[in-house]
Amino acid sequence: MSLNIDRTQPRSRDRHPLCNRVAYILPVCLAAGWGCAPVETRFEIVAFHEGATARQLSERFDAGRYSRNAHRDLSIVFEVHDADMVETRPPGELGPLPPTTQIVTIQMFWEPRPGTTHAESSQTNATISYCLISGPDSIRYAGAGFVYLSKSQEGRIEGRIESSALKVAQVVGQPRDLFGRCRIQGTFVATEDKQLVVAKLLRVRRLFGSPGAHQAPQPATDLPLED
C-alpha cells in the first residue's frame, strides 16, 4: 500500500530534524509494505504552524508495547531517545540542546473489523498524544484519530494510524513548538507488556500533571482529521 501525500498544502523541501539521528523528510509516496515486508513502526507528521507552510517530518521507533484493560480497551506506547547531543540551537540561542525523548501514546476504545466496520473520514476510535521531552522542557500534543489493527495474535499486534488531528495540549518549561497543529499517520508493531505500558503512561501523567505544567493557548479553530 502506498501512502498518498496530501498536496493541498505547499511542502517545504528543507530538512527539519526531530531527533537528529533519524528524522527526515518523507518522499511523496512511502511504501509501507503491508503484507509484503515486515511492518515497521514509523510515524509521519504534517505540521501546520500558523502563517507557515506545512512541514512534513517522520520518525522511526522501535516496536511499541501494549496492554488491555478489563474492558478490552487497548493502550499502546512507543518511545525513542536521541542519546547524541544536538549540536546547534535555533538562531539566537546558544549552547547545545539536551537529548530529546519522544513518546507516542495511543488509547483505542473500540476496534474496527475489516470488512464489517463502516468507517467515515471523520470517525475516531482513539486518543493520541505525542510528547517531546528535552531536559527541563517538554511539550505534549494531543487529539483524536482513527486507528485499526491489521494483525492481532497472541502477544503481538500490527496496525496503523489512519488519520488524526493533534494540537498543543500542555507544556513544561519553555519547549520549542515543532509541530503546532498537526496530523499524524503511520504504521506500528507492538508486543504485550502491561507493566511497561503502565510505567510509561504514569511517567507522562506525572510530567504533564506536575505543578510546572500548564495548558497551552488553543488555536481559534481545530484541524480536521483530513482535508
Quote the mean pLDDT of the chain. Answer: 77
- Let me know if residue 124 belongs to a domain: yes
The model's pLDDT over 91-121, given as tens digits with 9 standing for 90+, comes to: 555 455 578 899 999 999 998 876 655 556 5
- Let me know if residue 220 belongs to a domain: no
Close Cβ partners of 126 (under 8 Å, ≥ 6 residues apart): 106, 107, 108, 109, 144, 145, 146, 147
Cell of 114: 475489516
- Let me know if residue 32 belongs to a domain: yes
Across 13-17, 19-23, 54-58, 183-187, least confident range: 19-23
Question: What pTM was estimated for this model as a whole?
Answer: 0.74
- Let me know if residue 165 belongs to a domain: yes
- Let me know if residue 221 belongs to a domain: no
- Let me know if residue 10 belongs to a domain: yes
Instruction: Tell me the residue range of the domain where 105 lies.
Output: 2-215
What's the total number of domains in the chain? 1
How confident is residue 123, by pLDDT bands cut at 50, 70 and 90?
Answer: confident
Q: What's the mean pLDDT in 30-53?
A: 71
